Structure 1
Amino acid sequence: MKQTVVLYPGAGVGHVRPMTELANVFLKHGYDVTMVLVEEPLKLSDSGTTVIERTAASNPSISFHVLPSIHAQDFAASGKHPFLLMLELLHYYNEQFEAFLRAIDRKSLHSVVLDMFCIDATDVCMNLGVPVYTFFAGSASCLSALTQLPTLIAGRQTGLKELGDTPLDFVGVPPMPASHLIKELLEHPEDEMCKAMMNIWKRNTETMGVLLNTFESLESRAVQSLRGPLCVPERILPPIYCVGPLVGKGAKDVEKVERNECLEWLDMQPDRSVVFFCLGSKGTLSTEQLKVMAIGFERSGQRFLWSVRMPAGSDSPEKYLEGCPEPELDALLPQGFLQRTNGRGLVIKSWAPQMDVLGHRATGAFVTHCGWNSVLEAIVAGVPMLCLPLEGEQRMNKVSMTEGMGVAVELEGYMTGFVKAGEVEAKVRLVIEGEEGRHLRARVAALREEAKAALEEGGPSRVAFAHFLLDVDNLGKQLGD
């Protein structure tokens, strides 16, 4: 009888996608996989439901189970921050999640793997005697810093915001400017959002182990810090398993790939000559910033592929969705920009097949919001990056990318929310044709080979996953005694 693994991702595309890749790893090892989804929090993202439907359709070997609906409007009436609302909803779903687990034959239930935001479900699994693990979709560096943060702020009477750019010293992580932490963590320690986030990071390391979407040589210092005694002096952290990089393989439908206009355009460009500009599933810029970025690209003289999303603050999102008339792009960008850059640049609306673009021979650099999934995809493709972090932990990732991994340069101005045209021009030229760009490409090319080797038979990520499975089996025997 096959054993079943239950995966419980949190809300949002950036959590479901890597956990789907983790599901595929379990499938290759002969396990059945059920992914439990929660309806309401997913609707808080701009495209969550669509992505879930597409994910289920393209992964028929994975079973998907949607928990019975809870009336989210009852919670929304409280006026709480959407993040706190999501956590509260996930907590209330514990009862349904427990009922679902109880319906599975205990002898066939191998383990439960929780997303970082579903961590309250740890109590459910512990009560049932089920091996429970965390899947942290972010970087090891981020987890290490966040795990050390409670000790740093213990006893403080004020928040960290007053420290500004003062570097904070975390074990295993490059010096981190206080201003680059997740903004809610800069508030007073008794602030509701700050306390909720602190609790999440603490609970993420209270399961029986943590699966990390990274490979050890990419973040060796951070990984070792999580395994050592200095990260959280007052307690021993659970085992850490580096099982990544878990990224998609690009489009599976070859004919569809060949028909995509941006890939056809890339086919006509020289090797490593194109700057790909895409800020993830939710990343948006103001109309003014879009225009200034366009000026910078034009002045650089370099080739570019730009995925433009609806401007931040726009009250007419339907005008900028895929399939909108071409004149709408003219309204967003400087007058005559599309005509002047025709042939050298391509601007598309809303969506690009990111993995296929990054893996194309013509792509030479990637302007990214520094979401961890995007960072891994670029490393796997061997593409150096220009950092334009927008929210969440992205500024923390930027520090690791530039100071620790050596795979990126920053676009100065991201801290004020506005990057000047001259900065765009200079950094694009630097990465595509400058000496520093050549060093970046060499570094990322080396990491690409290390990432590939990590996932091969006998590679460190494959070995780590096998170690994880052995630990679960041993733990299961103990719980069954």
Structure 2
Amino acid sequence: MKDSIVIYPSPGRGHLVSITELAKLILTHYPSFSITVIIPEAPFETGSTYEYVESISATVPSITFHHLPTTTTTTTTSATTSSSSLDIQTQTFELSLQNNHNFHQALLLISKSPTIKALILDFFCNPSFKISAILEIPTYYYKPGGLSSLTVFLNLPTIHKNTTKSLKELGNEEINIPGMPVPLRAKDMPYPMQDRTRKVYHYFLETAIQMPKSAGIIVNTVETLEKTALNAILDGQCTPGQPAPRIYCIGPLIVSGDGSRSGESRHECLNWLDMQPKGSVVFLSFGSLGKFSAPQLKEIALGLEKSGVRFLWVVRPPEGAVDANLESLLPQGFLERTRDRGYVAKSWAPQVQVLSHESVGGFVCHCGWNSVLEAIRGGVPMLVWPLYAENKLNKVSVVEELKVALAVEAEDDGLVSAEELEKLITKLINSNEGKLIKERVMGLKEEVSVALKEGGPSRVALANLIESILKN
């Protein structure tokens, strides 16, 4: 009977896919395990994962998916927090908390046959740590983001202790975080950490306290990309007064395959890219939850048109306009005027395959960590436009430390103008500065390639992780 590893992701597509790729990686190198992925059913939008789960079920029999029953999240609010201000992070923590009974029953069911050697827990599932503790299952946390954002996260208890104010009250005041290349403005910290009167803040605080006490933290990164952050964590600078956590940098975890959805042929945008000159196309895509207002979509379109650069743009309809066609979302005549040098895809494109295509010379993205790793793996320089979660922290890493990206600057009203986009896209694709960024990202691409080879740091970290699990 094979030893078992149980994986518990949060329901977001980026989290589920990334942690399941970890399961695939473990089985590729250590096939003696069976792995069960326990999937919570969220009552809110998370990005479709059906095709991905079906594909893994059909191709990797050692991975089993166990779906928990649907539950409805309810959140109590403090006197200073209205129920209308609930955010997806709060709901995600609440989902884990309310699923604890179902999760407990699932673990008992799984443990009837193979021995559960370890639980790998998404950090948004921290409320379920108490269940694995009751069952005495060694628990590791999985962080789909990078080490730089982890340093900020682990420092939250220290920040909380050192000030009685919420970060949003500190505004432009700078905070020195061990492991970050430059001080951070308080207002650029992740939204859930901004207001200590909100419930989500305390979920994050509890998680930051609990994670270092686990068997280890698995991070989707390459240690050579984030040496400063790694050293700060291992030296104990991020967790003063307690032992430094064990860190396993096993990335990058990137979805493999040809990019086609189940039952579909090769995406037409890849055929279009085949006909474009090498390095000439800027690719714009903003994650599974990245949406813009109608005015912002029009500014993006005008900026692309004025730049004269070839482009592949994934457009998601604004909230409340799910069925809108592309013509109604974009400036009148835009599609016709740019049809010889542009391709607009509605809602989705095979991002990994696009970024691996030789015609792509730049990537405008929200700076989600998965997108950053995919761009580096493809050797594509970035123009970053942080939208949510830890995007602003990732921006600091890729712009200030790795120096493989430019960053957009919004107006006072939050809008990024057509002129700003035109200037930066042109710089990224056609300037000497853009060429230098390209050279740097190609160097990092080689570092990542070396890390993934036998004896490379990511493979050594994976071996160390498995050795730790087997000792349990």
Q: Same-fold call, TM > 0.5?
A: yes
Instruction: Kindly indicate whether residue 35 of structure 2 is the aligned counterpart of residue 33 of structure 1.
Output: yes
Do the aligned partners of residues 429 and 69 (structure 1) sit closer, same or farther apart at CA in structure 2, a change above 3 Å counting? closer
Which whole-Å CA distance do the structure 2 matches of 1:447 and 1:210 have between them? 24
Secondary structure at 1:409 match in 2: strand
1:303-314 mapped onto 2 (5 Å cutoff): 303-311=310-318, 313=319
Instruction: Kindly indicate whether residue 87 of structure 2 is the aligned counterpart of residue 85 of structure 1.
Output: no
1:382-397 mapped onto 2 (5 Å cutoff): 382-397=379-394
Which amino acid letter does the alignment assign opposite residue 185 of structure 1? M
1:309-324 mapped onto 2 (5 Å cutoff): 309-311=316-318, 313=319, 315-319=320-324
Instruction: Kindly indicate whether residue 194 of structure 2 is the aligned counterpart of residue 186 of structure 1.
Output: yes
Does the Cα contact within 8 Å between 1:7 and 1:36 map onto a contact in 2?
yes
C-alpha distance after superposition, 1:449-481 (max 9, x if no partner)? 11111111111011011011112222x1xxxxx
Which amino acid letter does the alignment assign opposite residue 272 of structure 1? G
Do the aligned partners of residues 404 and 85 (structure 1) sit closer, same or farther apart at CA in structure 2, a change above 3 Å counting? same
* Runs of 4+ in structure 1 over 6 Å off: 254-258
Does the Cα contact within 8 Å between 2:57 and 2:65 map onto a contact in 1?
no
Question: For residue 80 of structure 2, what is the aligned residue in structure 1?
Answer: none
Does the Cα contact within 8 Å between 1:258 and 1:264 map onto a contact in 2?
no
Which amino acid letter does the alignment assign opposite residue 382 of structure 1? G
Which whole-Å CA distance do the structure 1 matches of 2:327 and 2:114 have between them? 61
Secondary structure at 1:113 match in 2: strand
Q: CA deviation at 1:69?
A: 3.7
Question: For residue 144 of structure 2, what is the aligned residue in structure 1?
Answer: 137
Does the Cα contact within 8 Å between 2:21 and 2:255 map onto a contact in 1?
yes
Q: CA deviation at 1:67?
A: 2.0
Which whole-Å CA distance do the structure 2 matches of 1:64 and 1:279 have between them? 28
Correspondence for 1:470 among 445, 467, 471? 467
Question: For residue 21 of structure 1, what is the aligned residue in structure 2?
Answer: 21
Higher deviation after alignment, 52-61 or 358-367: 52-61
Structure 2: runs of 5+ lacking an equivalent: 78-82
Which whole-Å CA distance do the structure 1 matches of 2:13 and 2:47 have between them? 8
Which whole-Å CA distance do the structure 2 matches of 1:255 and 1:283 have between them? 23
Correspondence for 1:102 among 93, 108, 121? 108
Instruction: Kindly indicate whether residue 235 of structure 2 is the aligned counterpart of residue 228 of structure 1.
Output: yes
Does the Cα contact within 8 Å between 1:389 and 1:414 map onto a contact in 2?
no
Q: CA deviation at 1:127?
A: 2.1
C-alpha distance after superposition, 1:162-219 (max 9, x if no partner)? 33233321111122222211123222x3432322222222223221100000000111
Which amino acid letter does the alignment assign opposite residue 106 of structure 2? F
Do the aligned partners of residues 436 and 242 (structure 1) sit closer, same or farther apart at CA in structure 2, a change above 3 Å counting? same
Correspondence for 1:412 among 409, 426, 445? 409
Does the Cα contact within 8 Å between 2:10 and 2:92 map onto a contact in 1?
no
Instruction: Kindly indicate whether residue 443 of structure 2 is the aligned counterpart of residue 441 of structure 1.
Output: no
Q: CA deviation at 1:270?
A: 0.6
1:358-437 mapped onto 2 (5 Å cutoff): 358-413=355-410, 416-437=413-434
Question: For residue 158 of structure 1, what is the aligned residue in structure 2?
Answer: 165
Does the Cα contact within 8 Å between 1:161 and 1:178 map onto a contact in 2?
yes
Q: CA deviation at 1:126?
A: 2.1
C-alpha distance after superposition, 1:104-162 (max 9, x if no partner)? 14763221100011122222222222221001111110011111122123142321223
Which amino acid letter does the alignment assign opposite residue 407 of structure 1? V
Does the Cα contact within 8 Å between 1:140 and 1:212 map onto a contact in 2?
yes
Instruction: Kindly indicate whether residue 262 of structure 2 is the aligned counterpart of residue 261 of structure 1.
Output: no
Question: For residue 243 of structure 1, what is the aligned residue in structure 2?
Answer: 250
Q: CA deviation at 1:250?
A: 3.9
Which whole-Å CA distance do the structure 1 matches of 2:347 and 2:57 have between them? 22
Does the Cα contact within 8 Å between 1:56 and 1:64 map onto a contact in 2?
no
Does the Cα contact within 8 Å between 1:168 and 1:177 map onto a contact in 2?
yes
Does the Cα contact within 8 Å between 2:287 and 2:368 map onto a contact in 1?
yes
Question: For residue 479 of structure 1, what is the aligned residue in structure 2?
Answer: none
Does the Cα contact within 8 Å between 2:57 and 2:64 map onto a contact in 1?
no
C-alpha distance after superposition, 1:204-239 (max 9, x if no partner)? 322110000000011111111111122121111321
Which amino acid letter does the alignment assign opposite residue 17 of structure 1? V
Secondary structure at 2:409 match in 1: coil
Which whole-Å CA distance do the structure 1 matches of 2:38 and 2:90 have between them? 21
Question: For residue 323 of structure 1, what is the aligned residue in structure 2?
Answer: none
Does the Cα contact within 8 Å between 1:257 and 1:263 map onto a contact in 2?
no
Q: CA deviation at 1:414?
A: 7.3
Question: For residue 300 of structure 1, what is the aligned residue in structure 2?
Answer: 307
Which whole-Å CA distance do the structure 1 matches of 2:328 and 2:207 have between them? 43
Question: For residue 452 of structure 2, what is the aligned residue in structure 1?
Answer: 455
What is the identity percentage for the equivalent residue pairs of Structure 1 and Structure 2?
38
Do the aligned partners of residues 58 and 222 (structure 1) sit closer, same or farther apart at CA in structure 2, a change above 3 Å counting? farther
Do the aligned partners of residues 381 and 339 (structure 1) sit closer, same or farther apart at CA in structure 2, a change above 3 Å counting? same
C-alpha distance after superposition, 1:414-466 (max 9, x if no partner)? 78521111111111111111111111111111111111111111110110110
Secondary structure at 2:155 match in 1: helix
Question: For residue 44 of structure 1, what is the aligned residue in structure 2?
Answer: 44
Higher deviation after alignment, 374-383 or 329-338: 329-338
Higher deviation after alignment, 96-105 or 352-361: 96-105
Which whole-Å CA distance do the structure 2 matches of 1:105 and 1:224 have between them? 41
TM-score normalised by structure 1 residue count = 0.90
Which whole-Å CA distance do the structure 2 matches of 1:106 and 1:144 have between them? 38
Correspondence for 1:118 among 118, 125, 138? 125
Higher deviation after alignment, 13-22 or 96-105: 96-105
Which whole-Å CA distance do the structure 1 matches of 2:391 and 2:171 have between them? 17
C-alpha distance after superposition, 1:321-366 (max 9, x if no partner)? xxxxxxx322221222111111111111111011111111100000
Structure 1: runs of 5+ lacking an equivalent: 320-327, 477-481
1:6-17 mapped onto 2 (5 Å cutoff): 6-17=6-17
Do the aligned partners of residues 251 and 181 (structure 1) sit closer, same or farther apart at CA in structure 2, a change above 3 Å counting? same
Which whole-Å CA distance do the structure 1 matches of 2:38 and 2:10 have between them? 9
TM-score normalised by structure 2 residue count = 0.92
Do the aligned partners of residues 134 and 106 (structure 1) sit closer, same or farther apart at CA in structure 2, a change above 3 Å counting? farther
Q: CA deviation at 1:260?
A: 1.9
Q: CA deviation at 1:367?
A: 0.5
Do the aligned partners of residues 91 and 110 (structure 1) sit closer, same or farther apart at CA in structure 2, a change above 3 Å counting? same
Higher deviation after alignment, 61-70 or 375-384: 61-70
Does the Cα contact within 8 Å between 1:13 and 1:51 map onto a contact in 2?
no
